[in-house]
Structure 1
Amino acid sequence: MWDRLRPVGRHPESGGYRRFAWTGADAECRAWFREQAEARGLTHEVDRNGNQWAWLGDPARGDAVVTGSHLDSVPDGGAFDGPLGVVSAFAALDELRGRGARFAKPVAVVNFGDEEGARFGLACVGSRLTSGKLTARQAHLLTDADGVTLPRAMEAAGYDPEAIGPDPERLARIGAFVELHVEQGRALDLSGDAVGIASSIWPHGRWRFDFRGEANHAGTTRLADRRDPMLPYAEAVLAARREARLAGAVATFGKVAVEPNGVNAVPSLVRGWLDSRAADQDGLDTVVAAVEAAARDHAREHGVDLDVVRESFTPVVEFDNVLRDEIARILGAGNRESGRLNVPVLGTGAGHDAGILAGSIPTAMLFVRNPTGVSHSPAESAAEDDCAAGVLALADVLEGLACR
C-alpha cells in the first residue's frame, strides 16, 4: 500500500508532497483509497462533503467504530502526516481478519477531505462541514490563491457543491472514531515509546495581518518618505517569536504575500498569516494580543495601516475520557507494578479531524513515534518497526471496541 501511494503528488525537485484538495493528485489519492476498499470487499461511498468511507458491515446498525485520517498535504509536506493513519487503518483490518476476528459492530475506514487546508486556507473542511462547524454558505466563499472558489473546484473534480453541509445522520451512526497519526513532535522519541495516546489538542487559530502602505520606487524614494509595510511586518514576526517563548507557546508567521512583489519596489501591501497555539486559552490569547499590539505600534510608527482578521479558531479539545481510558486499558496501560503507563498519554499542538469531531462523537487518537519530530516537511519520518507497532496497536483497539 505504502509503495503504491508514495509517488502520488510528490514534487520531483523538493521531494515533498503537493496533494491539494480537488486537484489531480487528490483524485489519484481518492482512486487509491477506493481500490484499497474494493480489494478488501468493503463498501465504498463518498458523502455529500467529499469524504470517503469504506464500510465493513451495515452502517445503518449504528454504534460503528471508525478509523482513518486524511490523504491531502501541506505544500511540500511529508509522506506520513495523514496517509499513515489511512494506510494503518487498512492494515489493521487485514491484521484482524488474519486473527479471525468476528465483528459485533460495523467498522469503517475514512479519508476526510481537505484536512490541511493548503488550497483554500481553512483546515479540516471535510470534517467541519460534516459536523456543522462550517456552513455551506461559508464554504462557498472559500477561494484559492488563483481565485478559484471551492464550488468551482468541486465541480471540476466531478462533485456537487450544492450538496455540502451538516451530516448529523452519518455522525449518529458512529459510536467511536479513533485516528492514528504520526506524532508531530518528539515526546515519544524522548520517552522511548513507539506508540502514544492523545489527551488533548491545544487551542489554536490562524490570523491574517494586512499591512497597507504605499508602493514606491526602491531606488529613488528616501527612507524618510516611505510608508513601507514590510518593516512592521518584520517586527510582528519577531514579536511572535518573543511572545511565544515568554508564554511557553508557539507562534509562527509561515505564509506571506507581497504586492506588487517587485525587487525594486517598496511594497504597497504585506499580508502575513500567523499560526499560534498554546496549552490553554489564556496563554493563546496573551500571545496573539501581544503580537497584534506590537504590530500596531510599529505600523503607526511607519505610517502603515493594519487590519487583523481571525480566519479560523479551534478551542482546546479534550478527547473523550471514557474512550481514552478504554483504549489505554486495551493496550495494557497501567499494568506495570510501578503504575507507569506502557503507552504514554500526551497532548499535542496540532489540529486533526478527530479534534473537530470531538464535539459531536467520542473520539481518540494514537500517535506513532517520529524520531526527529519534524513534520509538514519532506524530512518527516517514522521507522518501519514503529509503523508496524502502530498498526498492531490500532488493530488491538479496533478489536477491543468492535469485537465484543
Structure 2
Amino acid sequence: MPETARLLAATVDTGRDRARGGYSRPVFSAAERELLEWYLAELRARGLEGTTDRNGVVWAWWNPAGLPLEGAVVTGSHLDSVPGGGAFDGPLGVVSALRALDLLRERGVDPARPLGLAVFPEEEGSRFGVACLGSRLLTGAVTPGRALALTDPDGNTFADVARGAGLDPAGFGRDDEALARIGCFVELHVEQGRGLVDLGAPVAVATSVIGHGRWRFTVRGEGNHAGTTLLADRRDPLLVAALVVAAARDVAAANPGTRATVGRLDPVPGGTNVIASRVDLWLDVRHPEDVVTAAVVAEVSRRAARLAAAEGCAVEVREESLSPTVDFDGALSRRLSGVLPTAPLLATGAGHDAGVLAGRVPTAMLFTRNPTGVSHAPGEFCTDEDAEAGSVALADVLADLLTGPPPG
C-alpha cells in the first residue's frame, strides 16, 4: 500500500456517520478532536511539536537550521467535515503534508527557509455556519465579535464551545504575527468535481476559487394544528420555504454558470402534525462573476418577499458569509506549473482556506483526482495511486519553494 494511503487508512474509522453514511466531524467534536490527536501523534513521531494558536489553528514547523520563522513555506488543510461527508475532503491535504515532509527528508532536502504545517478549524462551516472560520479569524476577514456570537444547531455559542476546547475567546482575531510567518501557502485538496477525470490527469494546479456566499432566509408565519386549521386559514412558512427553494433553482437557471443550492432547511417546532411557526433555510450561491452572485441573491430575495406576503408570512434575509472570486497568486501558480509541467490548470467552485489566505499572503493550490466527481457525500473518492501522486507533487513543489528563490 502506498504510504499516503497507509496514513489515510488510520483516519477512516473516526467520525463514521451510521445514519447519513460517510463522515460527520464538526469542529471541536469528539471525532474531530480524535483525528487531531492522531495528527499530533504523527507529528511527534517525526520529531515535530504541534501547537494551537489563539484562533485554534494547529501549527508545526520543520526547521532543521533553526532559521527565523518569518517568510516560511506553509502547507496544510483541515480535519472537520460536512454532515455525512467523504473521507478525503480535508484529511487528504493533512495526510499529504505529512507524506510530503517524509519525502523531503528522504531526498535529503536542505531547506533555506522553514516549512510550516497547518490545520485550520471549521473550514466547512458545518457547525457554526461560516466556512473557513479559522482562517477568516486569522486574517481578520471576520470580526471576533461576530464569530464568538455564532451558534450551532443546539444553541451553543462559538465562544462557549471554543472555551470548552481549551481556547480563550478573548484571544480570537487577526494575528499579524502569525501571518508574517507565512511567506506562501500551498494547499493540496481532493478535487470536488470531474475536472481531472475529464482531463485524464492525477494532479492539477488551481487557478481560482469561484465567488460564493451563504444567506439565511427566515420565514415567519403562524404555528397551528395540522388537523384543525383549514388551508384558507393558514400562514404556513414551510410552504413559502418550499417555493423559495424552487425559485432559487429557477433564478440560477436563468443566469448561466450559477450554482444555487438549499441544502439545509429547519422548521420550528418541527412536528409532523404541526404547521410550523418559523422556517430557516440556507441559500448557497456561487458564480465566477461576483456581480452575478449579488444579482441572483437579490432576485431570490425579491421573490421570497412576494411569496411570503401571498401566504401572510414575513421573510428576513441575512448574509452569513461572502467570499468574492479569488485568483491565486499568478507568480506562485506559474512556479508550481514550472515544477509540474504536465499538470493542467483548473478553477474550482469549492471554497478553501487557501482562498481566504490569498487576501493576505501568496497562495496556491493543488488538486488530486476524484474519479467519482462526487464530494461532500460518501461517494467522494481518490485512488491510492492518485493520493500518492498528489503527495509526490506536493513534495516536488515544496522542495522548489524551500530551496529556490524566496516565494512572493
What RMSD in Å do the two structures reach over aligned CA positions? 1.3
Gaps of 5+ in 2: 1-6
In the aligned structure 2, how far is the partner of 1:10 from the partner of 1:185?
23
* Residue 134 of structure 2 is aligned to residue 126 of structure 1: yes
Contact 2:219 2:316 in 1 (8 A): yes
In the aligned structure 1, how far is the partner of 2:146 from the partner of 2:241?
28
In the aligned structure 2, how far is the partner of 1:42 from the partner of 1:126?
22
Specify the alignment match of 1:293 in structure 2. Answer: 302
Specify the alignment match of 1:383 in structure 2. Answer: 383
SS of 1:146 mapped into structure 2: coil
Specify the alignment match of 1:403 in structure 2. Answer: 403
Q: 1:72 aligns with which of 77, 80, 84?
A: 80
* Residue 118 of structure 2 is aligned to residue 116 of structure 1: no
Specify the alignment match of 1:25 in structure 2. Answer: 31
Specify the alignment match of 2:264 in structure 1. Answer: 255
Specify the alignment match of 1:167 in structure 2. Answer: 175
- 1:2-401 paired onto structure 2 within 5 Å: 2-57=8-63, 58=66, 60-247=68-255, 248-332=257-341, 342-401=342-401
Contact 2:15 2:24 in 1 (8 A): yes
SS of 1:60 mapped into structure 2: coil
Contact 2:223 2:277 in 1 (8 A): yes
Following superposition, the deviation at residue 368 of structure 1 comes to 0.6
Q: Which amino acid aligns with 1:193?
A: A
SS of 2:136 mapped into structure 1: helix
Q: Which amino acid aligns with 1:226?
A: R
Query: More displaced, 53-62 or 129-138?
Result: 53-62
Specify the alignment match of 1:338 in structure 2. Answer: none
Query: More displaced, 125-134 or 157-166?
Result: 157-166
Contact 1:43 1:56 in 2 (8 A): no
1:136-194 deviations in whole A, cap 9, x for unaligned?
22221111111211121122222222222211111112111000001111011011111
Q: Which amino acid aligns with 1:7?
A: D
Contact 1:320 1:362 in 2 (8 A): yes
Cα 1:59–1:352, aligned 2, differ >3 Å: closer, same or farther?
A: farther
Q: Which amino acid aligns with 1:310?
A: E
Following superposition, the deviation at residue 286 of structure 1 comes to 2.2
1:224-250 deviations in whole A, cap 9, x for unaligned?
111111222111111111221221210
1:103-162 deviations in whole A, cap 9, x for unaligned?
111001111111111111111111111111122222211111112111211222222222
Contact 1:23 1:157 in 2 (8 A): no
SS of 2:309 mapped into structure 1: helix
SS of 1:6 mapped into structure 2: coil
SS of 2:95 mapped into structure 1: helix
Q: Which amino acid aligns with 1:31?
A: E
Following superposition, the deviation at residue 15 of structure 1 comes to 3.2
Following superposition, the deviation at residue 48 of structure 1 comes to 0.9
Specify the alignment match of 1:339 in structure 2. Answer: none
Contact 2:40 2:49 in 1 (8 A): no
Contact 1:331 1:343 in 2 (8 A): yes
In the aligned structure 2, how far is the partner of 1:100 from the partner of 1:228?
67
Following superposition, the deviation at residue 265 of structure 1 comes to 1.6
TM-score (norm 2): 0.94
Following superposition, the deviation at residue 59 of structure 1 comes to 6.5
Following superposition, the deviation at residue 61 of structure 1 comes to 3.8
In the aligned structure 1, how far is the partner of 2:49 from the partner of 2:135?
20
Following superposition, the deviation at residue 13 of structure 1 comes to 4.0
Contact 1:235 1:294 in 2 (8 A): no
Q: Which amino acid aligns with 1:262?
A: G
1:43-78 deviations in whole A, cap 9, x for unaligned?
321111111111001473422111010001111111
Contact 2:244 2:300 in 1 (8 A): yes
In the aligned structure 2, how far is the partner of 1:125 from the partner of 1:55?
22
Following superposition, the deviation at residue 367 of structure 1 comes to 0.5
Q: Which amino acid aligns with 1:105?
A: R
SS of 1:96 mapped into structure 2: helix
Gaps of 5+ in 1: 333-341
SS of 2:359 mapped into structure 1: coil
4+ runs of 1 displaced by more than 4 Å?
A: none
Q: Which amino acid aligns with 1:275?
A: D
In the aligned structure 1, how far is the partner of 2:287 from the partner of 2:305?
22
In the aligned structure 1, how far is the partner of 2:82 from the partner of 2:184?
27
Contact 1:214 1:267 in 2 (8 A): yes
Cα 1:14–1:222, aligned 2, differ >3 Å: closer, same or farther?
A: closer
1:255-293 deviations in whole A, cap 9, x for unaligned?
111012111121111111101101111221222122112
In the aligned structure 2, how far is the partner of 1:40 from the partner of 1:13?
36
In the aligned structure 2, how far is the partner of 1:197 from the partner of 1:244?
28
